[in-house]
Structure 1
Amino acid sequence: MTPQQPHDLPDFESLALVDLEDSPLSAAPLAPLARQAPPARDAAPAAPATEPAPSSAPSTRFTDWSTITKIRADVANALAEETMPGSDEEDRRARAASLIGAFIDDEESRRLDSGLVQWTNAERRAITQAVLESLFGFGRLQPLLDDPTIENIEIYGYDDVLIQRTGNTFEQADPIAESDADLLSMLSFYAAQQSKSFDPAHPRLHMSLGPTARLYAAGWVVARPIATIRIHRLVDVTLTDLVDLSLMPSELARFLRAAVRAKKSIMVAGAQGAGKTTLLRGLINEIDAWEKLAILESVAELHLEQLGKERHRRLVPLEAVPGSGEKDANGRPIGEITMDDWARDTFRMNLDRMIVGEILGPEVIAMFEAMQTGAGSLSTIHAKNSAAVPERVVTLARKDGRVTEDFARRQVAENIDLAVYVDLVKTRNPWTGESSLTRRITDVTSYTPGEGGLVASTQLWGLQDGQITPKMSPEWMDDLRPYLDEEAA
């Protein structure tokens, strides 16, 4: 790989907060992520919360991907034909390993008949590992997902792959398929494992890659297949961790912690890559472990279930399901479960609060429902600045078409208690004089109904001399005092 010149991009990840927009899928069953103490500000990038098992990265990597693809297809077909009621992933992996060995023997017999050299034991182990990664991991993407220094993967065709490492340098990576057609086939295979479709009739794909990576891909309707993979390295994060990483001062963390525990509804806003999803995780992780939470997402991204029962004992993660190409009598895709469907179901779940993750479109209606309960919903949204948040919510609601502009504006004014804006702020190193972009909370605003059906906003925290400081107290400050007193005690 050839390093490229670093871009003037945020260096917050170099402080070990790798995922700020928002652990790779190892070959072994997933274990809960371990808690990490935040590193010192000048520390080198920390290791990921879970290290891949030594056996997951063999010293010999097999590069005959046509052989791997063939054996993978043979094993997948054999597994699909077998009926194994009650079997779990460990059973399927063990059965797959046995089948792989048999198919390797078959391939090797054909090689010997053709006068080719016999595979070494190391090559056989590498083939086995590569096929397992293709079946239960993500094939040629897996080594990139396993690399703790990689934050983003950008694909512009099978042989044009860029990786962005911590420190914000870009490198050209090796091809991840044999051709564009092979790349499309590979992504279609992984989509099918999650009951999603990626084909000429469904040329766009949103899906998770393991517990903390998110993929967007497009094919057939673009010149070459494209994909963007965001890898979220830090999941178990608290507001204290974010203070240590300079996202906010401790006084603001104390205020936000009290707002979460007082069940205020909070919208985290910012541009792409600003740190919205990590801040959302930090806020959610301040909720009492025994509160029953439902997490509604169009594409699973928060992955709080990886943290273990000690963090969230009563967690219900819910992801929208697109359904099949066939329609039912009402014209809906068979098997489809929308965010609205899940939102209705949650009223039968004995919840303490419902959290709707990223708001990109129709999720806004589910968010309104969550906030109307007064149980303290939390969400993220893209916005160019803090003042644009109410109109952004209204615009998404109007595009959905099910509510009026007045209704949407009233929901913002009456139900969003706080908007927390995360931005990329240019800072200068006093010792070297070098400038860089660093993630910071730059604004905290509260909303109330205004005159003429408009939204009245009050800035509670804002920037002064480059530092965020308190400006005013919210009308509902008394609701927070028991939790602030609790911390002080």
Structure 2
Amino acid sequence: MPWGEITKLRQQVANDVDHLKKDRRQAGSPLGEKDLEEVVRARVRSRVAEWAQTWSLTNPPLSGEELERVRTEVFNLIFLAGALQRVLDRPGVEDVLVDGEWMYIDSYGQPRERVRSPFSSRSQAVEWVNQMAAASGHGERLLSYATGKVEFDLPDGSRVAATLLTGDVTIAIRRHVAEAATLVDLEKWGAVDTIVASFLSAAVKAGLSIIIAGDMATGKTTLMRALGREVPAHERLATLESEPELRLNYDDPDRHAHVLAFRTREGNGERDATGRVTLADLVPVSLRYKATRVMVGEVRGDEAIAMLEAMIAGGAGSMCTLHAKDPEAVVDRLMVPLARAGLSDQASYRLIAAAVDLIVYVDAIDETDQGGQVHRFVSHVWETAGRSEGGGVALSQLFAPREDSGEVRAMPTRTPMNERRLRKLERKGFHRRWLIDYPNGQWRPLRRAGGAA
């Protein structure tokens, strides 16, 4: 079906609905969300039926299945993601990348799939981007050679970034890879065991400040989302993100009634950043609204200082994620944005040591190329222990892999924990004897490709 026919039908239905909404407002009975969807479906059926009669005068008549597909495409273009909705509806899809005439689909635990783009031309792809951006309701600028790039959300919350700076139209769609999981779910999936889950749950409830670090696609945000669900219900929690992944206010609104979900905002000016709001801007704003804890989706810029200072100045129990390729490089990785902001090494070390209680590292083993799956798991947990003799941040390794036995997941190390922190954990239900009684943890078997455990 020519894309131009679909977009014409979409515009006709949109005009019909706009007129009806205006009439209903003037009559004092505006359309609700459920009514609006029913009205759109009805207008789609009517307009497609009219169009099909005209189409059949010069083309072979469409079958019932083909007509239903036209209706679905038109409806999706108004309410959902149009030409890409069928791909986004597939179970397990995490990322969709459109590069010119090709589309790449990343699904959980599966190798990357390469298929033809649903767009037949560059102009069609740009038209889709701008229709979706205009419908997003966030006031984003449109994609053109003057702007170069644009970012916006689809109706399901998926984040879209599109650019013309690559010589063709490049579109990246990031789904909600951070599932609405609890620590119990993560234990079932093998991301944590009972001991690590109990330890982290108690740490959150005790108000310890935590950095969750790891490489790309290891499950950092999924873990932080699960830890966020451990925050006591009476606390006022602020989430600060550039992409809406934590969504604690949606997971369990009865439990998290005090969630302030702050979002960054791109500048609207074509030549400057007018209207831009960054994570660094949002940290102090969230504290003004009496948030007792702050959760930052990913620390990578100037917000690092604001985040660490918030942890010291009343935001105890705050959390953030940090991209680090190696577990031993977490502190050095955090030093990068601090140095960029003008802090000396010694000032940075003092700030980290004073603000952070625990560092949790998540790792992954990707065996999809061997017919296996992606194993994501916590591999290390450290606590900060003041300053080291060399002036850096001293770390005590509480959980770590057992390299001698080939175990890659976090096992108790029997390293003594800070007594004050340990007592806080005990008051929240953790038992120190578990670190001694279960030296090998309580992990589920790791089902490796080829039968390795």
TM-score range, shorter chain: 0.7 to 0.9
1:315 aligns with 2:256: no
Structure 1 unaligned spans of 5+:
1-62, 428-432
1:287 aligns with 2:231: yes
Contact in 1 for aligned 2:79/2:155 (Cα 8 Å): no
Q: Which of 97, 118, 138 matches 1:154?
A: 97
1:248-397 aligned at under 5 Å gives the runs 248-325=192-269, 333-334=274-275, 336-372=276-312, 373-397=314-338
Contact in 1 for aligned 2:401/2:411 (Cα 8 Å): yes
1:423 aligns with 2:363: yes
- Residues 272, 233 of structure 1: alpha-carbon distance in 2 compared, 3 angstrom cutoff: closer
Alpha-carbon displacement from aligned partner over 1:390-411 (angstroms, at most 9, x marks no partner): 1211212333x36555443322
Tell me the distance in 1 between the aligned counterparts of 2:373 and 2:53.
Answer: 58
1:454 aligns with 2:392: yes
SS in 1 for 2:417: coil
Tell me the distance in 2 between the aligned counterparts of 1:150 and 1:326.
Answer: 33
Contact in 1 for aligned 2:214/2:322 (Cα 8 Å): yes
- Residues 71, 265 of structure 1: alpha-carbon distance in 2 compared, 3 angstrom cutoff: same
Letter paired with 1:345:
V
Alpha-carbon displacement from aligned partner over 1:112-164 (angstroms, at most 9, x marks no partner): 6x53455566544433321221122101111111111433323222x311223
Contact in 2 for aligned 1:445/1:461 (Cα 8 Å): yes
Structure 2 unaligned spans of 5+:
434-453
Residue aligning to 2:147: 202
Contact in 1 for aligned 2:311/2:356 (Cα 8 Å): yes
Contact in 2 for aligned 1:236/1:307 (Cα 8 Å): yes
TM-score, length of structure 2 as denominator length:
0.80
Residue aligning to 2:171: 227
Alpha-carbon displacement from aligned partner over 1:358-381 (angstroms, at most 9, x marks no partner): 123233244224323242111111
1:71 aligns with 2:9: yes
Residue 457 of structure 1, CA deviation: 1.7
Letter paired with 1:180:
R
Q: CA RMSD in A?
A: 3.2
Residue aligning to 1:483: 428
Alpha-carbon displacement from aligned partner over 1:234-260 (angstroms, at most 9, x marks no partner): 622111221222222211111111111
Letter paired with 2:219:
G
- Residues 299, 425 of structure 1: alpha-carbon distance in 2 compared, 3 angstrom cutoff: closer
Letter paired with 1:195:
G
Tell me the distance in 1 between the aligned counterparts of 2:348 and 2:78.
Answer: 45
Residue 349 of structure 1, CA deviation: 2.3
Contact in 2 for aligned 1:247/1:441 (Cα 8 Å): yes
Letter paired with 1:460:
L
Letter paired with 1:457:
L
Over 6 Å off, 4+ runs = 433-436
- Residues 79, 306 of structure 1: alpha-carbon distance in 2 compared, 3 angstrom cutoff: same
Letter paired with 2:216:
Q
Tell me the distance in 2 between the aligned counterparts of 1:326 and 1:165.
Answer: 35
Residue 292 of structure 1, CA deviation: 1.9
Alpha-carbon displacement from aligned partner over 1:429-482 (angstroms, at most 9, x marks no partner): xxxx98765222111112233356522222111111214222223322222110
Residue aligning to 2:378: 441
Tell me the distance in 2 between the aligned counterparts of 1:351 and 1:93.
Answer: 36
SS in 2 for 1:461: strand
- More relative contact order in 1 or in 2 (CA 8 Å, sep 6+)? 1
Contact in 2 for aligned 1:356/1:370 (Cα 8 Å): no
Residue 212 of structure 1, CA deviation: 5.7
Alpha-carbon displacement from aligned partner over 1:2-38 (angstroms, at most 9, x marks no partner): xxxxxxxxxxxxxxxxxxxxxxxxxxxxxxxxxxxxx
Q: Tell me how many residue pairs correspond in the alignment.
A: 414
- Residues 437, 123 of structure 1: alpha-carbon distance in 2 compared, 3 angstrom cutoff: closer
Residue 211 of structure 1, CA deviation: 4.1
Tell me the distance in 1 between the aligned counterparts of 2:128 and 2:381.
Answer: 44
Letter paired with 2:427:
P
Tell me the distance in 1 between the aligned counterparts of 2:288 and 2:374.
Answer: 45
SS in 2 for 1:469: strand
Tell me the distance in 2 between the aligned counterparts of 1:435 and 1:173.
Answer: 22
Alpha-carbon displacement from aligned partner over 1:40-92 (angstroms, at most 9, x marks no partner): xxxxxxxxxxxxxxxxxxxxxxx432211222234446656764756544344
Contact in 2 for aligned 1:154/1:161 (Cα 8 Å): yes
- Residues 75, 408 of structure 1: alpha-carbon distance in 2 compared, 3 angstrom cutoff: farther
Q: Which of 86, 93, 96 matches 1:143?
A: 86
Tell me the distance in 1 between the aligned counterparts of 2:15 and 2:387.
Answer: 59
Identity of aligned pairs, percent? 28
Tell me the distance in 1 between the aligned counterparts of 2:49 and 2:371.
Answer: 59
Letter paired with 2:395:
S
Residue aligning to 1:48: none
Tell me the distance in 1 between the aligned counterparts of 2:240 and 2:287.
Answer: 13
